[in-house]
Structure 1
Amino acid sequence: MEYVIVGNGVSAIGAIEGIRSRDQEGKIIVVSDEAVPTYGRPLISYYLADKIKLETMPFRPEEWYRRNKIEMKLASRVVKVDREAKKIVLQSGENLPYDKLLLATGGTPVTPGIMGVDGEGVYNFTTISHAEQLREIVDKVKSVAVIGAGLIALKAAEGFAEKGVPVSMIVRSRIMRAYFDEAASDMVVRHLEKHGLSFKQQANTRAIVRRDDGSVEGVDTDKGFVPADVVVVAAGVKPNKALAESAGLKVNNGIVVDDTLCTTDKDIFAAGDVAEALDILTGEYTVRPIWPNAYTQGRYAGMNMAGEEDHYSGGLSMNSITYYGLPTVAVGNSNPEIESGLEIHSQIDTEKSVYRKVVFEGDVLVGCILIGEIDHAGLYTSFIKNKFRLEPVAKQAIIDGDPNPVHWPEEYIQQMQNTP
């Protein structure tokens, strides 16, 4: 059996481990347009800030690739999937045949249509190569503007701030909007401001302003001008679905897959940030670009590519990050609309930077936000992921901040005890 994996993120690692759990001898080739093996993408801000070295970045050691008999084709771009001939075509002209193919092509930074965005002084921040570019200039930079409010934007800001560079974040709505409500966002912003970051919130970017020589002067917004000699654009990421689309596979927001991670071609699978896969809470198929989902999808895809039929139970929206010593966790439907009819309970201690919010749909916990005190995050997640129906006493314990395994269903506890 010949397996080809296009992409080299964490979903590729999951796929390799999934394949090797079923097939120890099949040939596995990994093709990536990046020049390095899989690495911890959330770590690139620490690399920019000189907190870690390049050699600490790989997600798996070289020996792991040797042990699993992986052939790597790095710095290699795939230009075509030929489904009829069952091969992929590289930009170099090389053809690679496959029996089973995994598209784990990830996402590409979104470039907003604003004046001045093209040209020197404007960067993205999603890969090691982006971090390398910024490392070359970080000691010369006087000030940075970051356009965006998500995890990538905050990691970029952190990397520069750790090097002592003044950073201004231009936020159209609020930070981490997909996970945080206003109370959570405001708490994190206040914490970050204490550590030197500046925020221009509720601001729309009009243009990146350039001098006559083309160098960046700053960013014009409807809330005023932000001076900067470097701009990082972190306005989101879109799935790299072009290969699948040109091959005639079904695509929507991402590559459409079933609960085995198989596409509309029985020999082609997709996983990670490019896959439109099952969501465990809603039962809908959607793109959830987070590491745990990507790895798990890759592992299920790998097992199924190797001939099994293991059904992916679904991904879960979650985020866990620490901002300058302030830990935060958001899981599930953590930020529902007021008119959703969901039951919401929250407690806040602004002075101590502690916030807890839990969201219920009837007697089922469907979401939570934890800031400052996150010791029980795993327990909250277990209730959400398993959609346990709660007795009134158990529900009240969760509202009071005391989730407890004693409130798990008996059959689940027995299953946990019987799991090797």
Structure 2
Amino acid sequence: MNYVIIGNGTAAVGTIEGIRAVDRDSAITVISDEIYPVYGRPLISYLLLGKTTEDKMLHYRPADFYEKNGVKTMLGRTVTKIDPAAKTVLLEGGEAVPYDKLCICTGSRPFVPPMEGLDTVQNKTSFMTLDDAKRLNNMLGDANDKRVLIIGAGLIGLKCAEGIYQRVGELTVIDLAPRILPNVLTEAPAAIIQKHIESKGVRFILGDSVARFDGNTATLQSGGTIDFDVLVIAVGVRPNTELAADAGCEVNRGILTDDHSATTVPDIYAAGDCTVSHDITADTDRILAILPNAYMQGETAGRNMAGGSTSFDKAIPMNASGFMGLHMITAGAYDGETYLEQDEEHYKLLVTQDNHLVGFIMIGDVDRAGIYTSLIRERTPLDTIDFDLIREKPQLMAFSRAERAKKLGGAH
């Protein structure tokens, strides 16, 4: 068997480990347009902050990860076409790589909306990759006097702000939405995090957008102007689906797969940010561009590519992040009956529906939030546990002895 994986992120790692759980010997080839071995993308803000190094990032998996798993890497190579009839992957330059089973783990790319005069801005970058972080680092230099404008107050924009706020003279974040993290948080918890970030010297302009650029000046729709030295565009991302679509895979915003991570084309699988998942908390199909789902989709694809039979049907939206010392974990949906605890820097919202926990938001004290995530993912009926106890603080004592043993890997 000859396995080929396009992409080299978390979904690809899951695919490799899924294959090797079933097939220890067959050839695996990983093709990626990035030149680096797999690295922890969420760490790029900590690289700028000085909390990690490039070497540590590139050891997101052990240095001998590829060698131990018998993986051939083709890094810095661009795939131009998938030919499902010939069962080959075509590379820029004309080389053809044959496959028996293929997994598309192409991830996503920054979305850059059309903005008048953007081409007149010299120092600009997105913020998704290690190369983006290196580019931004070079733009900032060592002077600590740069004025930086970030367009986008989502997770990417705020993590960028965290990475550079101690290294700049002025830092402004602008977003058309009326609150920060509009796709993750409701109004009250967003206000808590915004207040905390503002206390570190970051300025937010919300409910507004850039109408045009004139060199290093941004004119806003509201009529105001912002002068800056460096521009970071963090508006959002778009899934990389073109290769899959051209190969005949069904695509609807993302690549469509079944719960085995198989696409609509035989012997082609897909996993990660480029795919559509079924969100079990909202009972809807959507793109869930988060690391845990990417890994589990990839592992599912790998096992099935290698002849196993496994499914992944527990996809949920979730985010775990920190902003300048304030931690946040969210998961699931927010429609239902609510339980709320709140003060100036702490927030806990639990949402239940039909005897199940369907969502939560925790800011500040996020200890053991994984227990809540497990309740959502496993669809645990709340009348089978002591929910009054677990509502106050997530703890294993709320579960039966058998369930505690299961969650502790057999320990009592």
Query: What TM bracket, shorter-length normalisation?
Result: over 0.9
* In structure 1, distance between residues paired with 2:66 and 2:403: 36
The aligned counterpart of 1:180 is: 185
Deviation, structure 1 residue 301: 0.6
Deviation, structure 1 residue 130: 1.0
Deviation, structure 1 residue 200: 0.8
Say if 1:35 and 1:405 are closer, same or farther in 2 by CA, change over 3 A.
Answer: same
Deviation, structure 1 residue 307: 0.6
Higher mean displacement: 287-296 or 158-167: 158-167
The aligned counterpart of 2:220 is: 220
The aligned counterpart of 1:160 is: 164
Deviation, structure 1 residue 393: 8.5
Deviation, structure 1 residue 217: 2.4
The aligned counterpart of 1:209 is: 214
* In structure 1, distance between residues paired with 2:63 and 2:21: 19
1:348 to 342, 345, 359: 342
Deviation, structure 1 residue 348: 1.2
Deviation, structure 1 residue 281: 2.4
**TM-score (normalised: structure 2):** 0.93
Query: Helix, strand or coil: the match of 1:115?
Result: coil
Deviation, structure 1 residue 372: 1.0
Whether 2:288 is the aligned partner of 1:297: answer no
Whether 2:178 is the aligned partner of 1:190: answer no
* In structure 1, distance between residues paired with 2:206 and 2:72: 47
Say if 1:289 and 1:364 are closer, same or farther in 2 by CA, change over 3 A.
Answer: same
Whether 2:155 is the aligned partner of 1:151: answer yes
Q: Deviations over 1:357-377 (max 9, x none)?
A: 111113211111111111131
Asked whether the equivalents of residues 260 and 301 of structure 1 are also in contact (C-alpha less than 8 Å), the reply is yes
Higher mean displacement: 91-100 or 55-64: 55-64
Deviation, structure 1 residue 303: 0.7
Unaligned 5+ runs, structure 1: 211-215, 337-341
Say if 1:149 and 1:96 are closer, same or farther in 2 by CA, change over 3 A.
Answer: same
**For 1:66-81, what aligned pairs fall within 5 Å after superposition?**
66-81=67-82
Whether 2:387 is the aligned partner of 1:386: answer no
Say if 1:51 and 1:415 are closer, same or farther in 2 by CA, change over 3 A.
Answer: closer
Q: Which amino acid aligns with 2:136?
A: L
Asked whether the equivalents of residues 363 and 395 of structure 1 are also in contact (C-alpha less than 8 Å), the reply is no
Whether 2:367 is the aligned partner of 1:363: answer no
* In structure 2, distance between residues paired with 1:246 and 1:182: 41
Q: Which amino acid aligns with 2:68?
A: R
Q: Which amino acid aligns with 2:123?
A: G
Say if 1:3 and 1:343 are closer, same or farther in 2 by CA, change over 3 A.
Answer: same
Higher mean displacement: 172-181 or 296-305: 172-181
Say if 1:414 and 1:46 are closer, same or farther in 2 by CA, change over 3 A.
Answer: closer
Higher mean displacement: 133-142 or 377-386: 133-142
* In structure 2, distance between residues paired with 1:393 and 1:28: 44
The aligned counterpart of 1:213 is: none
* In structure 2, distance between residues paired with 1:29 and 1:90: 13
Asked whether the equivalents of residues 82 and 247 of structure 1 are also in contact (C-alpha less than 8 Å), the reply is yes
Whether 2:127 is the aligned partner of 1:125: answer yes
Q: Deviations over 1:256-312 (max 9, x none)?
A: 000000001120000000011232324433210001111111111111110111011
Q: Deviations over 1:51-84 (max 9, x none)?
A: 3221111221331111111111111000000000
Say if 1:417 and 1:164 are closer, same or farther in 2 by CA, change over 3 A.
Answer: closer
Q: Deviations over 1:120-155 (max 9, x none)?
A: 222101011111111211126620110101111011
Say if 1:245 and 1:137 are closer, same or farther in 2 by CA, change over 3 A.
Answer: same
Quote the sequence identity (%). 37
Q: Which amino acid aligns with 1:63?
A: D
Say if 1:230 and 1:165 are closer, same or farther in 2 by CA, change over 3 A.
Answer: same
Say if 1:293 and 1:381 are closer, same or farther in 2 by CA, change over 3 A.
Answer: same
* In structure 2, distance between residues paired with 1:416 and 1:49: 36
Query: Helix, strand or coil: the match of 2:64?
Result: helix
Query: Helix, strand or coil: the match of 1:370?
Result: strand
Give the total of aligned pairs: 406
Higher mean displacement: 198-207 or 262-271: 198-207
Q: Which amino acid aligns with 2:206?
A: Q
The aligned counterpart of 1:280 is: 280
* RMSD between superposed Cα atoms in Å: 2.0
* In structure 2, distance between residues paired with 1:181 and 1:397: 25
Q: Which amino acid aligns with 2:98?
A: P
**TM-score (normalised: structure 1):** 0.91
